[in-house]
Structure formats: structure tokens, C-alpha cells
Structure 1
């Protein structure tokens, strides 16, 4: 095994995305300052890491991940939003979690025989590819959606609440964003970049027809659309890189 162990990195990354975005509700995120809610979140994080790693006799790695995760979340709770704005706090929080995962993966547990997951003796390539696809789905939908929701208010000079009320379907914008980033993932992975360009053009035309008479609304939609496409393409290429 090389010094940097993908057999550790991919499962730990998938476990983090599952616990922080798929299994953590908006209510849990808002109430994470309560000890019971934080404890439940850490239990979910530990279980995801323990199960996905696949070495059921090894508890040190999940324990280290849970301990670091708890310290990072406590630090974020203490500093945000009083001392650090919401968007920088979110980015710093995710960067810290990824740094811990990267560090744990670079230690080389497999080389010294400490980490021996059961799936290495069966079909490791298929297992890791499945986790990469799972991580890509969560990153392109839930993670990107959270990032966009936190980024837009800080980027725009106008208050989003002052924009024209949307009379469309409830949460339709969120689901449209999820679907368009999933399509970008498919297009980039399959090498159909022309289809991705067509999607960007079609989305822009449809969205700007609605907001062409309101400058603030047009800017809001433009920033949100471009940010959504940027994240979708970036995560798609990151997925392709991991799968290669």
C-alpha cells in the first residue's frame, strides 16, 4: 500500500458526507449546541466510519475521527456566528474535517497491518468506486446546496428577503439545483461537455425570463446559477479524478 491510503480516505470521506449532510437534518444542525444533539451527531459519525471502513476489530480510527469531529464542531459552535460569519465558518469547518481525514489516510495504517478491512479480500475496486459515487451524489446535491444557501446572502448587496416573492412550487429551486448538478456529474464523467454547455444555456434562458425586469433579482439568480454550475463541474471533475 502507498503512504496515502485510498482504502482509508474514500470510506472516511463517504462517512463524513453521510453524517454531516445526509443523516444530519436542518433541526439537528441548528440545535448542535445542545449536548444531546451533538452527541447523537457524533454517534452517527462514528457508526458511519466504523461500518464503511469494514475492519470491525479496529476501533482506533473511528474513535480518532469522532474525537476530532467533536472538537471541530465545538470550536465552530463557539466562534460562529458571533466572531466568524456563517460562510467562512462553514468553509473552515469542512476544510478542517477534510484535513483530519487526509491526515488519517496518510499515516499508513495498512502498511503496518493495523487496518485490514474485510472487503480488501473480496472486491476492493467495486467497493471504493461505489463509495466514490455515493460521495459524489451527496456532494453535488446536499453539500453544494448548503454552500450555495450560505454563500448567496454574503455575496449580494441586496437582502434576499426583499426580492420578489416566488410563487412557484415550494422548494423547487433547491430540487432544480440538485438535478442540474447531478446532470453535470453525468455529463462530465461521460465526457459530454457539449451537453453540459447546453444545460447551462437552457437554465440561464429560463431563469432570466422571470427576472429580467428586476436587477436585484437578476443578480441573485445569476450568482446562484453560476455558483451552482461551478460547484457541479468542480465536484464532477473531483469524482472523475478519484475514480481514475
Structure 2
């Protein structure tokens, strides 16, 4: 957890708050779950892999997070899961997959859209009343590729572009009840998904050179942004790109 983030929210903003994070078994989702736990929130984190969830539950550094199995592709499972809770303050839709080079097949294309886009809609609708009760917030994890093309991952690009459109639509639909909906769009951050790039020194250096900051992003960099979007009650229907200005320099 970035000490600057902890210091910025040292007033106990998240004491007693309940945060639901989808896709927390690694990468961005896990960093966000850890970040909210460090800020004293009650964190419920959902994943689909039994093996990964068991490993996370056994990790004593993650004891402040409740890891629960949930198939975000199944609307009935989501409805039953959400019904267990009285209220949510924050929903972070971070579940995501990419299948490089395979996304031109219909089955894989649909799978990626189902996890990356449709699941965010399902969770948002299921949690809406719980968020209404707390005038809470939804933060969707978009991507730099919401706005750029990548020939190897057409489904991923389409799903993340869809997240931006969904964010804007839900912001209008939920706003009258006081629920704010925004998105964070990461660029090149070190995650399992981007490991084929950052683990290759030549590729990693080439990508870092495209950034105005001349470095890769770290997933912890995004925690403060998500916390900020909950804290700001005057921000809705927007997105913030965290890509080291790669897009501006493209």
C-alpha cells in the first residue's frame, strides 16, 4: 500500500465502509482490495478459481480481505451472492481476461465480453439497491485500450471500450439516487496479464520509453485513484486514464 494514499485518507474515510471487488485474485483487483483493506474498509473480494482463492485465504498479509467464490458470468449466482449483504459503499468491477491471438473465434470473443463487460453490468444492477442505501459509488476498471487498438485482442479492446460506455450510461441511470459511477483506465502496468511484455527486457524497455515517465506503472499506483473516485461526490460518468501519457505521445 502506498504510504501517500494511506496518509491522504488518514481521517478514517473508509472506517465502517463495505467494498466489493470483483477479480481480486491478482494484479489490479488484488491491489485495490489490499488498498481498501489498508484504509480500514470491510473488503469482500470475489474470484472464480478455487486454487487461487485458497492461496489468498492462506496469505496472512491478506487477512483483512474476505475472499469468496463467485462466477460473474452467472446472473443467478450474482443475485444470490449480493442478497447476503445489507449494503455496499463501493463496487469495483475489476474482473477481466484477455486471450491474445484467440479472440477472433466466436466462443473466445463472447467469453471475453462476458467476463469483462457483461459481468460489470450484472454486478452493478444486482448491487444497485445496496449502493443506493449508502449513496455509494461504482468504479469500473477500463483500459488504455478502451481508446486504442490492438490487433491481438479485439475482444478485450471492444469490452473495455464498452466499459466506458457502460460507465456513462449507468452514471445517468443511477445518479438520481446519489450513486456515482466512474472508470479508471490503466495503461501499461505490471500484472500477470502483461507479464509477456514486462518480463522481456527488450519489450519492457521499449514500452517504458513510450511513457513520459519512462517507466512501467505499478498496480499500487491505481489504489489512490479508485479511493478518490469514491471520496469525490461531484464526479460521475467520467474516466481517468493512468497510462504515463502513452496515449498523448502516440
Q: TM-score, normalised on structure 1?
A: 0.31
More helix by share: 1
Kindly indicate whether structure 1 or structure 2 has the higher relative contact order, using CA contacts under 8 Å at least 6 residues apart.
Answer: 1
